[in-house]
Every structure is written in structure tokens, then in C-alpha cells.
Amino acid sequence: MAKANQGNAADKKTKTVKVKALSVKSSVDGFRRGGRAWGKDETTVKLSELTKEQIAQIKGESMLSVTEVEVDEEADDTTGDE
């Protein structure tokens, strides 16, 4: 029976959850604000990767187009179903 349980650790279940993020575009390539460089192409950054100060700087910058979005993130399924 021990062999039947060996694969369980490798078969960890994951689930997808929605997390808040910012979708940011700059009016010029290489514009820096909030400790990051932004370009004309849209960049999505999870809020968990930014400090409150960075979020305020990015949202308050007129050179940036900022939209609040939600993105998928994988999370370990910790339901305890073993």
C-alpha cells in the first residue's frame, strides 16, 4: 500500500483564483514611474507585486493609462482531501 501513496505529493491539486492587478500603458516607451519602466504595449502587474506607494505613483501619473483588472493565478488546493 505504501507504493500507491507515493505519487500523491507530486499530484498536488492547484486551483485558479482571480487576483487584482493593474493594466498599464505609457504614452512613450521607457517611461519610468513606481520603480518600473513602462512601454506603449500594455503590461499587467498583480497588485501583490507592488507597494501601496508604487500603486499611488502609477495611478497618479498622467503619462500612464491605468486600468484595474483581475487576472488568474494558480493557488495550491489546501482542502485537505488526502
- Is 3 within the bounds of a domain? no
Tens-digit pLDDT profile for residues 49-82 = 999 999 999 999 999 999 999 999 988 766 555 4
Tens-digit pLDDT profile for residues 41-55 = 999 999 999 999 999
- Is 45 within the bounds of a domain? yes
Q: Which helix (H) or strand (E) holds 73?
A: strand 64-76
What pTM does this model have? 0.73
Residues spanned by the domain of 25: 15-68
Q: How many domains in the chain?
A: 1
Contacts of 45 (CB under 8 A, 6+ apart): 21, 22, 24, 36
Average pLDDT over residues 21-45: 97
Buried b (16+ CB within 10 A) or exposed e, 43-82: eebeeeebeeebbebbeebeebeeeeeebeeeeeeeeeee
- Is 41 within the bounds of a domain? yes
